[in-house]
């Protein structure tokens, strides 16, 4: 059987999502480290984004499509419940994480810390301060969502949780968001418990280049 390759920078939260998915399904894979717009990425993704995947003659881009393939092409516990209601709720949360949570917490706030574009490389305080009020709302919403069962959907670990955990990992690394996470008791307990899953622990990425944590 051909080797399944996940292609992209391991620090990417979406690359990390696909790697967790592989382990949860028991799928052997190889991580091929590659930057956005590198030749191996551009060959598969029309806009040069990561991750991309190769498995024999199958080539896919976008983490949701890759995870769909992993979930449906291999044995193992489903990443999205087969029950129509729980499955729909999982897809609902995946969409919320990808279209609402990630753009604010990662593309705006986290980028302002890690890739600030300031003359001296210090965090971009203007962007950070603008993001914080909305971030408080996001953390409160997520805290309520996991309060009852410790999962986003039902009482099982789903792709919705897999999508969220890498984002929370990075939120725990930056000062303002770490405070927000600590204050959100249900969400912090959810984060601590699921970070101990073997699939998550085994795939924790190295620091971004030029950073020590």
185-211 pLDDT tens trace: 999 999 999 999 999 999 999 987 656
With beta carbons less than 8 A apart as the criterion, state whether 39 and 180 touch.
Answer: no
> What's the confidence (pLDDT) of residue 83?
97
156-168 confidence digits (pLDDT tens)? 999 999 999 999 9
What are the distances in angstroms from CA 190 to CA 66, 98, 114, 152, 185? 25, 19, 25, 10, 9
**CATH dotted code for 84-201:** 1.20.1050.10
Query: 50-86, pLDDT tens digit by residue?
Result: 999 999 999 999 999 999 999 999 999 999 999 999 9
Q: Across the chain, what does the average pLDDT equal?
A: 96
> Tell me, what's the pLDDT at 55?
97
CATH tag for 4-73 (out of 3.40.30.10, 3.30.360.10, 3.30.200.20, 3.40.50.1000): 3.40.30.10
Q: Is residue 180 pLDDT above 70, yes or no?
A: yes
pLDDT at position 208, please?
76
* Residue 106 near residue 57 (C-beta atoms within 8 A): no
pLDDT on residue 87? 98
CATH fold match for the domains 4-73 and 84-201: no
Both structure tokens of 204: 């924790």
Instruction: Indicate the domain borders of the chain.
Output: 4-73, 84-201
């Amino acid at each position: 059987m051909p080797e399944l390759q996940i292609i992209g920078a391991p620090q990417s939260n979406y690359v990390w999502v696909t790697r967790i998915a592989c382990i949860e399904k028991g799928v052997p894979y190889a991580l091929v480290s590659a930057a956005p717009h590198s030749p191996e990425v551009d060959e598969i993704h029309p806009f040069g984004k990561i991750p991309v995947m190769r498995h024999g003659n199958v080539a896919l881009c976008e983490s949701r499509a890759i995870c769909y393939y992993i979930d449906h092409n291999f044995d193992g516990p489903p990443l999205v419940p087969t029950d129509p209601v729980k499955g729909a709720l999982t897809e609902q949360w995946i969409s919320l994480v990808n279209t609402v949570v990630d753009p604010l917490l990662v593309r705006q706030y986290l980028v302002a810390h890690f890739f600030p574009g300031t003359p001296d490389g210090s965090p971009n305080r203007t962007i950070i301060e603008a993001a914080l009020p909305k971030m408080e709302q996001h953390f409160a919403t997520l805290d309520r969502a996991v309060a009852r069962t410790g999962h986003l959907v039902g009482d099982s670990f789903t792709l919705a949780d897999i999508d969220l955990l890498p984002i929370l990992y990075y939120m725990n690394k930056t000062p303002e968001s770490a405070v927000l996470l600590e204050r959100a008791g249900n969400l912090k307990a959810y984060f601590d418990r699921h970070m101990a899953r073997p699939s998550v622990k085994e795939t924790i990425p190295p620091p971004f280049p030029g950073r020590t944590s």
